[in-house]
A and B are shown apart, each in its own frame.
With several copies, the nearest count.
Chain A
Amino acid sequence: MVQTAPSPAATVEAAPRRDEFVRAFRVMLLARLLDEKFASLYRAGKIHGGVFLGKGQEALSVAVGQSLCPGDIFAPLIRDQAGRLAFGETILDAVRTYMGSPLGPMRGRDGNVHRGKPREGYLPMISHLGAMISVVNGALLGRRFQGKTGAVGATCLGEGGTSTGAFHESLNQAAIERLPLVLVVADNQYAYSTPSSQQFACRALVDKAVGYGVTGHSVDGTDLEACLQTVGAAVARARAGSGPQLIVAHLLRLCGHGEHDDAGYIDPKLKQSPLGRDCLKVAEEFLLQNQWADAKSIETWRAEKIKNIEEAVAIVQREPTPDPFKEDWRALASEHLGELRSENP
């Protein structure tokens, strides 16, 4: 897959590490480019509703998606384009959901980041922060009831989301049941406009772990290699039966809360600090430095991914839009228990 010849520095032991890194980098790149495409479609008025990007969070996110195996469970959040792709989401599904295509997994009923395929262990978030964690717990419990072992469930949250009662109840629930849950918190310094100082008062978010009796991990979210290692280790621990793992990654959101937001409130000092580094650039430099890839291959990858994205967008733009007259307008699986009265005709 990697198109550069192994550099002298790359020993035999380094090869898997390199492969993993390169694989992750390529997904990050794709995620960034796809996010940028969504942003430009948004600016062009081609997307209804909000657009939420993961800029600056790709290293962490890809590490989560890539640490999971088929059969695992993943409930990503709004800034997880990279993790979604790494877990197996297709570009087409992402574009279809943003554009509201009836052929996408949400069929135009739900949109943007609210997408998933529950049957494939890929859970579609609802908007209420913290609400997906217990759903992952339940999926893991379900597996346990069925005697299926070995699977891990991962889910992502912002530091703002840790203030929800749902976060607390579900992490505690996972701890009591000793579920293989990996809860990944991206402390990106802001919840919308609210700085972390107005969100929690503990010295470090990871200090919460001890109060639940779960393992805590802290990681530099701008450093892909660190993310791969920390998340990989946490997933392995969970899989091995060590119970829930809480990962807190430190980084900065490098975009607005959504594309409608210019994020003028972000402290410039933070942008200049190590937290403000762009994980994609850092990873690219690392690649080049280690000669795990050269500039040309990176350009090739980029071009290739842009092509893939443009193709997907072109396909979706030719697809029909949802037809309200073909909708069954039924919220129940039990057809015979539906009601169709006093509604909009």
Chain B
Amino acid sequence: MSITYLEAIREAQARALADDPRVYIYGQDVGAFGGAFKATKNLAQEFPGRVLNAPISEDAIIGSAVGAAIEGMRPIIEMQFADFSTVGFNQIVNQAATLFWRTQVPCPITIRLPFGGTSGSGPFHSQCIEAIYAHYPGIIVLTPATVEDAYSMLLEAVAIDDPVIFCEHKYLYYHLKADRLPTEAMPVGKARIARAGRDLTIVAYSAMVHEALAVAEELVSEGAEIEVVDLRSVKPLDTDTVIASVARTGRLLCVGEAWPWGGVTAEVIARVATEGFGLLDAPPQRLNAKDTPVPYHPNLWSTHRPTARSIAVAARNLLGL
């Protein structure tokens, strides 16, 4: 048996629906059709009345989730693409994110954002916008990089008493497979050492973890042992694990698929520079997508985002190879 990242997301939702009567799913085409990516395949049939199609009204979709959460429900919201969450932005950052702080009433909603670049998807179906949510207080932002995390972190997201932006990478949907679903999991908030090493720490998250791992593998032949830290959650961000890794390696490269200004890589480097300055043997470096919209043509797209190729260049530079 083998299960994809996408199937893991479906399975997590099936389990959440089965285990907790407070859970329901709401989003465009999530009903009988099973969602644009089939992440809710058969769930409407298996859980009648609990998986609802929404109109093309992202603002109202999110707003209603907050209301239901106030009444004790635990909605899972599917945005058809992360990019479209910008029209529901206000309800996320000003309604959902402030509720608990203002009233002490928790707002347990999970907003699933199919995000990240895939070839040929262009400027409006490829964005990585985790940073704009992480910037606001009152929101948790998760970025699972593995099939196991897609499953266990989504289950945990539903259990968390705060709004969770669940960034599921569309590139990983079909490309990533595991043998089985996990039975135990690291908690949200903890980063993972995806590969141990002692010469350089590459901090990455979501799809970039796999690019970083490929580089670590590739550079073995050049004598470098690269440690790869998978952040898993970008807010909260597990600074301790990152700093402990840098303490071991003395060198930091932070890689993100998002735009440069104020992204995860800026936040990670700022934390390491302020809290772990003395551990650094060389200037920390970061690698982001280019500061333009995400291009449509594969030639451009594969240059716009970091890849194993460009990460390897940066890693070699940092390692003096």
**A274 touches B (CB below 8 Å):** no
- Distance (Å) between the CB of A178 and the closest chain B CB? 13
* Interfacial chain A residues near B106, Cβ < 8 Å: 333
Report if A138-B67 is in contact (Cβ < 8 Å); known contacts: A49-B120, A333-B162, A344-B289. Answer: yes
Is A137 touching B300 in the complex (CB atoms < 8 A)? Answer: no
Interface centre among A129, A199, A329, A342 (most CB of B within 10 A): A342
* Interfacial chain A residues near B66, Cβ < 8 Å: 134-135, 138
Report if A127-B290 is in contact (Cβ < 8 Å); known contacts: A160-B55, A324-B300, A332-B162. Answer: no
Is B271 touching A141 in the complex (CB atoms < 8 A)? Answer: no
Interface centre among A110, A129, A173 (most CB of B within 10 A): A110
Q: How far is the CA of A135 from the CA of B91 in the complex (A)?
A: 9
Per-residue CB proximity of A24-54 to B under 8 Å, as 1/0?
Answer: 0000000000000000000000011110000
**B63 touches A (CB below 8 Å):** yes
Taking CB atoms and an 8 Å cut-off, the chain B residues in 123-178 that contact chain A are 123-125, 137-138, 140, 160-162
Report if A324-B60 is in contact (Cβ < 8 Å); known contacts: A106-B103, A118-B105, A344-B310. Answer: no
- Distance (Å) between the CB of B314 and the closest chain A CB? 7
Per-residue CB proximity of B284-309 to A under 8 Å, as 1/0?
Answer: 00111111110111111011111000
* Interfacial chain B residues near A194, Cβ < 8 Å: 28-29, 31, 33, 53, 55
| Among listed B4-12, B198-206, B219-227, B233-241, interface-contacting one | B233-241
Per-residue CB proximity of A164-185 to B under 8 Å, as 1/0?
Answer: 1110011011001000000000
Q: How far is the CA of A225 from the CA of B120 in the complex (A)?
A: 38
Partner of A332, one of B100, B120, B124: B100
**A244 touches B (CB below 8 Å):** no
Is A128 touching B50 in the complex (CB atoms < 8 A)? Answer: no
- Distance (Å) between the CB of A253 and the closest chain B CB? 14
Q: How far is the CA of A314 from the CA of B147 in the complex (A)?
A: 42
Partner of B67, one of A140, A161, A172: A140
Is A344 touching B56 in the complex (CB atoms < 8 A)? Answer: no
Report if A109-B293 is in contact (Cβ < 8 Å); known contacts: A141-B68, A194-B29. Answer: yes
Chain B interface: which size bin?
35 or more
**B197 touches A (CB below 8 Å):** no
* Interfacial chain A residues near B291, Cβ < 8 Å: 329, 331, 339-340, 343
**B119 touches A (CB below 8 Å):** yes
**B42 touches A (CB below 8 Å):** no
| Among listed A82-90, A142-150, A215-223, A285-293, interface-contacting one | A142-150
* Interfacial chain A residues near B97, Cβ < 8 Å: 331
Closest 7 CB pairs of A and B: A138-B67, A48-B120, A134-B63, A49-B120, A142-B71, A138-B64, A193-B33
Residues of A within 8 A of B (CB): 47-50, 100, 105-106, 108-112, 114, 116-119, 123-124, 126-129, 131-143, 145-146, 160-161, 163-166, 169-170, 172-173, 176, 191-194, 198-200, 265, 321-324, 327, 329-334, 336-345
Further pairs besides A134-B60, A170-B60, A344-B304: 4, Cβ < 8 Å: A138-B66, A199-B55, A327-B300, A342-B287
